Each structure stands twice: as structure tokens, then as C-alpha cells.
Chains A and B, each alone.
Chain A
Amino acid sequence: MDTSVSIRRLGVAAGRAPLLKDITVDIPAGKIVGLLGPSGAGKTTLMRAIVGRQRLTSGEVSVLGQPAGSARIRRRIGYMTQGLSVYTDLTVQENLRYFAAMLGVGRQEAGRVIAEVDLAAQSRQLVRTLSGGQKSRVSLAAALLGRPDLLVLDEPTVGVDPVLRQQLWHLFRELAGQGKTLIVSSHVMDEASRCDDLILIRQGSVLAHGAPQTLCRQTGARDVEGAFLKLVETPA
């Protein structure tokens, strides 16, 4: 099985406070990997390290066979930050055409991703006039530009209604079927069962890593939320 992201003894600190501690993890290609943990656990920092936006204190992160952040792989990574990270004073179409130009992909690619996140009817609307869920879909669309091999999505379903959430997860599954790797963070535990692989993190360390069923079996819990709580209680 191909490895998409390989993290070795990664440490990140902000000043003296450690954000990530000695993380070693391999993420296989073609899977949906859920990054779960309470807020402040280090999910966003880990994602930033993978896309190459985070300064590392120690360890190595290699992505698609290159050191994270290399110019060569920038075109092959789609990153959706937790903030909106689109221009609210531009229309949906203007946003995506601009990001498409930055990636060097054509204008029709902007149209394709707008349709993919179901915003064709809003494409000429200013982003600031959209609802919260629509806004985050614009941000997701930007991450999908250029059909990247690795998608790093920081809480992509926040503020999205259940019907659309279902659709987005169908889309994620379809992308994984095409061999893309998806790293999806969430603090909604019920989304965890939709992932192939889960990484539970807490206070900057990996608490557990495995398939949802495996984690439940190991802990004897009925669901991932239960497994997480059991793992937290178990002294290391």
C-alpha cells in the first residue's frame, strides 16, 4: 500500500508550549483519514505541518514522497483551512477563478468545482452574502481545484446541514475511490464512522490510530465517542 503522508517524531512548539509531541504516523493513499480530538488538541497544527505551513521544531514530515511544503508538490495538495480563507468581497466564481489561476489550471476547472460543491446557482453571488454552510463550501471548492492527490480539510462540514453533509461525504468517498487521500478533521464524533482510518489526538499526542471498528473492539466501546472516552481514561 502506498504511503501518502509519513510523519516521523514530529514536534511543534509555540515558544515553550508544546503543540505537538513526538508524533509518528503513516497515512496510506486512497483513504479517508479522520483526525479527531477535542479543540486545542493540535489537529489544525498537524494539518498545517502536513501542508507545509507550519514551522517544525523537530522531526520530519514527508508528503507524496517529498518533504512537506516542497514547491514540487504544491499543485498536488488541496488545503481547506478552518477559517474561511476565501475573499468574502468577491463572488464565488471570481474566488475560484483566481485560485485556479494561481494553480495554473483553466477557468473551466473553476466551473467544475463550483458544480461539485453544488453552488452553481450562487456562482455570481458575493461570498459575504452566502450562508455559513455555503461559504465553507466555497472554501472546500477551492481545495478541490486541480484534482489534488492529497486533500487536507480542516473541519469541512462545520455549519453544513445534514442533507448536504451526506452529499459531501459521498463526494469524499468518491474521491478516495479515485485514489485520492483525504485527511479530514472533525470534532463531531459521529462523522468518525465514515472514515477508513482514525487518528485520535489529545494534548498534542496521538492517543490511538486505527480503523473505527478496530478502535471500538479494542476498547470494548459501542462507538468511536465511547472508544475515545475510554482511551482518555486509560492511563498510558
Chain B
Amino acid sequence: MSPRRTLATAARVLRQLRHDRRTLGLIFFVPCLLLIVVRYVFDGQQEVFDSFAPLVLGIFPLTVMFLVSSIATLRERTTGTLDRLMTMPIAKLDFILGYALAFSVVALVQAGLASAVVLGLLRVPVAGGTALVLIGAVLAAILGTAFGLFVSAFAATEFQAVQFMPAFIFPQLLTCGLFVARDHMEKVVQWFADVMPMTYSVDALKQITLHSGWSGTLARDFAVVTGYALAVLVLGAVTIRRRD
């Protein structure tokens, strides 16, 4: 592994995105617009919105980075750039971490803008403060990136890759406690929720919304999300082969 190659890869991924303004615009502004829409969906139910909106800040980066990174790495596999890289002295982890780093930067901007909308424009009170919200959102983004990189190994086409989103993200979205509290769910569904990472990503933001400062639960949530992300990044590196 080499930090120089990891950084060069991250910079290259960011340059690609910079040349694709429309994608960047969609990544940055769609969450903001949706949050504003959600605010008016819950018109007159300010309390419901106040407890819902911060959680969404953890879901957008996870979902968007999942999609973007799975398509981006699938493109590396299908266009031959990965073929070329694998004949060069780059470690597989340099490649994976480069992507994770680049998308974390994008996620930081996205989360910054979305948080500005939620905390500033829509005046949702968050006891834990902006910094923790941003950490929670970036960790969710790294998790999304990690899973996107990983599943792209199992997709042969873009059509398959985008289908991994409903297959992989939706079950977690339904069970993570965003719509229904987890202790109201059927046992098996609860078990599923207990082992899936989005649950902890959303719970972290719930903790940040309700409590100021750190708590044992928040530390556990962050630890689970970080551990999951790192483990899946390593698994993603394993799916890349020097020889096919």
C-alpha cells in the first residue's frame, strides 16, 4: 500500500466528478430539495418532521454513494481501466481506499449542504450540534461507498448494478427504525435490523438529535458503522483480482 497512490486515486475520482457537473449537482442538491419537500409533507406536524429530518441526513449519503460507487467501479471493470491498473504497481487497497476517500469528500459537501437546510433553513433543533451530524453523515457515506464497491463485483451490467439498490438498500431502509420503531417489529425482522449497518447509522443520528455530546450508545453506533465500513472495504479489495 502507498498513501501517495491512494491520494492520487482519490484526486482522480474527484476530477472525474468535477468534469461531470450534472452528477455533482444531483448529488448535492437533490437531498436539499427533498428535505424541503418533506418539510411540507409534514406541514403542521413540526414535531414529526423534527425527529424525522435528521435521520434522513444519514440515509441520503449512504444511498447516493452506494449507487455512484457501484456504477463507478463497474465502469472500471468493464472499460478495461482496472485491467490496466492491475498490471501496474498499485495495491488493491490503494484503489479501494482512494474511492472511499474521494466519496467521503463528496459526502462531506453533500451532508454540509443538507445539514444547512435542515438545521439552518428549516430550523430543526439538533441537540448534538452540527459537527456530530456531519460525522454521522460522512460515516454513512463511507458505508455506502464500501457496499457499492463490494456489490459491483457481482454485477455484470449497469442494469444489474442499479437493481442492487432496491435489493440491498430498501430492506435496510424499511427496518432501520426510520418509519417504525424497531421494538414494534416482528422478531425475525428485528434480528435482521440488528445485524444490518444502516440501523446503526440511523440510530447514531437519532442519538445526536436527542442528546447533546457523546453517549455510550452513540459511540457504539459509530463503532459499528466504522467497523462495518472497514470490513466491507477489505472485502471489496478481495473481489478485485490481479488475475481473472
Contacts and interface: CB of A to CB of B under 8 A. Distances in A.
A, B co-complexed: yes
Interface of A: 48, 51-55, 69, 71, 74-75, 77, 79, 81-91, 94, 98-99, 101-104, 126, 142
Interface of B: 4-5, 8-9, 11-12, 15-16, 19-20, 79-81, 83-90, 242-244
A91 B12 CA distance: 11
- List the 9 closest A-B pairs by CB distance, nearest first: A85-B80, A83-B80, A101-B8, A81-B80, A55-B243, A98-B12, A85-B84, A74-B89, A102-B88
Contacts of B16: 87, 89-90
A74 B19 contact: no
Contact of B89 (A82, A90, A104): A104
Given A55-B243, A102-B5, A126-B19, A85 B89 contact: no
Contacts of B15: 90, 94
Given A55-B243, A89-B20, A101 B81 contact: no
B145 to A, nearest CB: 18
Given A89-B16, A102-B8, A52 B81 contact: no
Contacts, number: 79
A88 B79 CA distance: 10
A98 B8 contact: yes
A97 to B, nearest CB: 8
A54 B8 contact: no
Contacts of A53: 83, 86-87, 242-244
A113 to B, nearest CB: 14
Given A84-B79, A99-B84, A52 B243 contact: yes
A52 B4 contact: no
A69 B89 contact: no
A164 B37 CA distance: 57
A120 to B, nearest CB: 20
A89 B76 CA distance: 12
Nearest to B85: A102
A81 B242 CA distance: 15
Contacts of A79: 83-84, 87
Contacts of A54: 243-244
A158 to B, nearest CB: 14
Nearest to B23: A89
Given A69-B243, A79-B84, A101-B4, A87 B89 contact: no
Given A98-B12, A126-B19, A51 B5 contact: no
Contacts of B81: 85-87
Nearest to A85: B80
Nearest to A55: B243
B211 to A, nearest CB: 43
Contacts of A142: 84
Contacts of A103: 88-89
Nearest to B7: A101
A59 B19 CA distance: 45
A180 B55 CA distance: 59
Nearest to A81: B80
B89 A75 contact: yes
Given A74-B87, A85-B83, A85-B84, 19 more contacts: A53-B244, A54-B244, A55-B243, A55-B244, A71-B89, A74-B89, A75-B89, A84-B79, A85-B79, A85-B80, A85-B81, A86-B81, A88-B79, A91-B19, A94-B15, A101-B4, A102-B88, A102-B89, A142-B84
Contacts of B11: 98
A90 B83 contact: no
A140 to B, nearest CB: 12
B79 A83 contact: yes
B159 to A, nearest CB: 19
A94 B12 CA distance: 8
A78 to B, nearest CB: 9
A101 to B, nearest CB: 4
Q: Which of A55, A90, A101, A103 has the most CB of B within 10 A?
A: A101
Nearest to A54: B243
30 contacts: A52-B87, A53-B87, A53-B242, A53-B244, A54-B243, A55-B243, A55-B244, A74-B89, A81-B80, A81-B83, A83-B80, A85-B79, A85-B80, A85-B83, A86-B81, A86-B84, A87-B12, A87-B16, A87-B81, A88-B79, A89-B16, A90-B12, A90-B15, A101-B8, A102-B85, A102-B88, A102-B90, A103-B89, A104-B4, A142-B84
